[in-house]
Amino acid sequence: MPLARATSLESLRRLIGDKNYWTPHDPQFEERQRQVREGFGQLYSAKNDATEELNAQIECIRQRQQRYDEILDEYDELIRYAPSVLEYDKDGRLLKDYVPIPPAIEERKRLLNEELRILREELDRLGAPPGIQFKMNNE
C-alpha cells in the first residue's frame, strides 16, 4: 500500500524500532521495508531545493567568470588598437612621439575597469576569485 501522505521521521523511527520490522518471516516484512524506503525517499529526496540552489550558484559563478574574461579581452583590444602612431614631417623628423588616446576609448576603459572591480568583489564574496578556476569539491 503506497503512502498517502508524507511520513514523519518519528513514524519511520517507530517502524524501524518495531521488532517485526527485522523479522523476515513476518507476513508484513516486505511491506514494512517498502514503507520505510518510500518514507525516507519522501523526506530526503535526491533532488531537493539545496541542490537546485547550489546549481544556481555554480551557474552564477561561471557566468560572472565568463563576463570577467570577456571584459579583459575587450580591454586588451582597446589598448592594442589605441592610436599610437608617431608623426613625422616630410623630411623624416619626428614631430609627435605621443598621440593622445581619444576620450571615447578612455571612457570605455574606465567603464570596463569599474565593471571588473564589481565582478572581482562579487567573485571574491562567492569564494571564486578571478584567475582561479572554479571547481566543485566533488568533481
Proportion of the chain above pLDDT 70, given as a percent: 76
In the block, cell 566543485 appears at: 136
Q: What is the mean pLDDT of the segment spanning 42-55?
A: 69
Q: Which of 74, 58, 57, 4 is nearest to 35 (CA)?
A: 4
Coil/strand/helix, residue 43:
helix
Q: Angle between the 49-80 and 103-126 helix axes, to the nearest 10 degrees? A: 150
Could you tell me the three cell numbers for 120? 572581482
Place of cell 525517499: 41
Residue 57 pLDDT class (50, 70, 90 cuts) = confident
Residue 70 — pLDDT band, cuts 50, 70, 90? very high
Which amino acid, 138?
N
